[in-house]
Amino acid sequence: MIVCKFGGTSVGDADAIARTAAIISARVDRQPVVVVSALGGATNQLIQIAEQAAKGQLIGALRAVEGLRDRHIVETHRLLGNDAQAEDVASELSAMFDELASLAEALTTLGDLTPRSLDAISSLGEQASSVLVVAAFAKHGLPATHVDAREVMITDSQYTRAEPQADAIAEAAHRIVMPLMRAGRIPVMGGFIGAALGTGVTTTLGRGGSDYSASLVGAALQAEVIEIWTDVDGMLTADPRVVPDARLIHRIGFEEASELASFGAKVLHPNTIAPAVMKGIPVCVLNSRRPEGTGTLITFAAPRRSVTAIAGKSGVTLLRVRSPRMLLTEGFLRRMFDVFERHRTSVDVVATSEVSVSVTIDDATNLEALVIDLRALGDVTMERNRGIVSIVGNGLSDGGTSMSRALAAIGDLRVHMLSLSSSGINLTVVVDGQQVHPVMQRLHAAFFSAGAEAT
Ligand code: ASP
Ligand code: MG
């Protein structure tokens, strides 16, 4: 069996849902289980409705509820026509939006938005999309059956970021999903949502959680592969807005993908697919607008390449702490990182020498107080407008040639700091913010241009 997950843009409207049905039609033999996101943008709107209602702006909230209702009903009729079956689906969906309107009114009365009520509201997007997709599949002749995700995706009760309970999920998946597949049905469920163990109260797995749902279901059922259908061709060797000849990565290691995650490569966050990848289940990222593409396959063991991708970001702040006292003293790093923890500041890249430590920080909004505390440990300098470029490849440290080729490609552009990850697969350089793009372009040319030695 396989798991096919469709993100918000792949179920965004009737045309997208029809393409999704065609993709599943081509996979019936492989026993697909389908996981869907809310219609693109719906979750954001639901959260806004909840916030508005709790602030007492009931009229605006209710207007937004009607907007969402209309969108769902319009797409329902576009997909299903106007027969009795279409009316049934439309009224089932409409009832969900009645419930949403009552929830909004209750929030306005209470004037308070708890994580639990936020989940009750934000989960409605997937509750609705899954019902609509099942009906659309049936219309396309697919034997689809709706599965209420809350019966399968069992979690703890940390609302808005609930922790899945793998054993309970495996048990429920075998009890509920497996028999449907054996009977030749195509189970369809909403991603992102679950229910708390014991109480059954609706929870969510956190924003973007549908990938996580797909991975958990795939792991529970030992899927052959998990397909994540989205609106891009897969992961690329660089951001195509910076490097126009960036190429599709056909296969990438889970660790490599994780190293790239902090660069806003919004395709998917590898951690969300960890449950599957850890079990040896490959995850494939595919474009639902171009289903004939091969996509990117993420596996635990990937081909060894010196460079798989180059990523960069600017707007980074570099802090250097220099202390002669650090020489041969233990506990210096602990004291220093205590300061970062106290100021809730997360550090990205670190390099140390005998007497100094350099770190980069992404969010430089509240650094003044932090710097005052750091000064107790040594001389501190702060350099704003830096950028970082990472060269990621699981064979990067094999031999020395790739590393020297990378440094040669950077050439005369100034490097402020350099760090090689402990696994040796990520070489990060800190450069001037405005040099991020040229450095990425030079590196990409050195490793991927036609003339570059095959990697
Ligand atoms: N609909 C949810 C969100 O927008 C979950 C997802 O699409 O993955 O966060
Ligand atoms: Mg997503």
The Å distance, Cα 321 to ligand 2 centre, comes to: 38
Please tell me the residue having the least CA distance from ligand 1 atom 8. 208
pLDDT tens for residues 80-110? 999 999 999 999 999 999 999 999 999 999 9
pLDDT tens for residues 366-378? 789 999 999 998 9
The Å distance, Cα 443 to ligand 2 centre, comes to: 29
| Cα(295)–Cα(285) distance, integer angstroms | 5
pLDDT tens for residues 107-123? 999 999 999 999 999 99
Amino acid at 277: V
The Å distance, Cα 66 to ligand 2 centre, comes to: 25
The Å distance, Cα 200 to ligand 1 centre, comes to: 21
The Å distance, Cα 129 to ligand 1 centre, comes to: 11
Pocket test for ligand 1, best of 34, 43, 211 (most atoms within 8 A of CB): 43
Distances in Å between the Cα of 102 and the Cα atoms of 51, 65, 429 are 14, 10, 53
pLDDT tens for residues 306-321? 999 999 999 999 999 9
Task: Give the pair of three-digit tokens for residue 266.
Answer: 């919004």
pLDDT tens for residues 174-184? 999 999 999 99
378 DSSP 8-state letter? S
**Residue ranges of the chain assigned to CATH 3.30.2130.10:** 309-448
pLDDT tens for residues 120-155? 999 999 999 999 999 999 999 999 999 999 999 999
For 411, other C-beta atoms within 10 Å of its C-beta total: 10
The Å distance, Cα 289 to ligand 2 centre, comes to: 16
Task: Give the pair of three-digit tokens for residue 140.
Answer: 């396309």
Query: Residue ranges of the alpha helices (H) in 81-175?
Result: 84-110, 115-122, 124-139, 149-152, 166-172
| Cα(265)–Cα(282) distance, integer angstroms | 19
Tell me which residues have their CB closer than 6 angstroms to ligand 1. 7-8, 37-38, 43, 125, 191-192, 207-210
**Residue ranges of the chain assigned to CATH 3.40.1160.10:** 2-231
Please report which confidence band the pLDDT of residue 454 belongs to, taking 50, 70 and 90 as the band edges. very low
Give the mean model confidence (pLDDT) for residues 343-360.
90
Please report which confidence band the pLDDT of residue 327 belongs to, taking 50, 70 and 90 as the band edges. low
Pocket test for ligand 1, best of 6, 9, 37 (most atoms within 8 A of CB): 37
- Structural domain 309-448, CATH architecture: 2-Layer Sandwich (3.30)
Pocket test for ligand 1, best of 121, 210, 231 (most atoms within 8 A of CB): 210
The least confident of 31-45, 264-278, 308-322 is 264-278
Give the mean model confidence (pLDDT) for residues 273-277.
88
109 CB-near residues (< 8 Å, 6+ apart): none
Distances in Å between the Cα of 236 and the Cα atoms of 106, 247, 367 are 46, 5, 34
The Å distance, Cα 74 to ligand 2 centre, comes to: 24
Q: Which one, of 228, 223, 122, 234, lies nearest residue 181 by Cα? A: 223
- Structural domain 2-231, CATH architecture: 3-Layer(aba) Sandwich (3.40)
Place of tokens 């259908």: 229
Q: What are phi and psi of 230, to 5 degrees?
A: -140, -155
What ligand is nearest to the CA atom of residue 8? 1
Give the mean model confidence (pLDDT) for residues 421-433.
93
What ligand is nearest to the CA atom of residue 208? 1
Please tell me the residue having the least CA distance from ligand 1 atom 2. 208
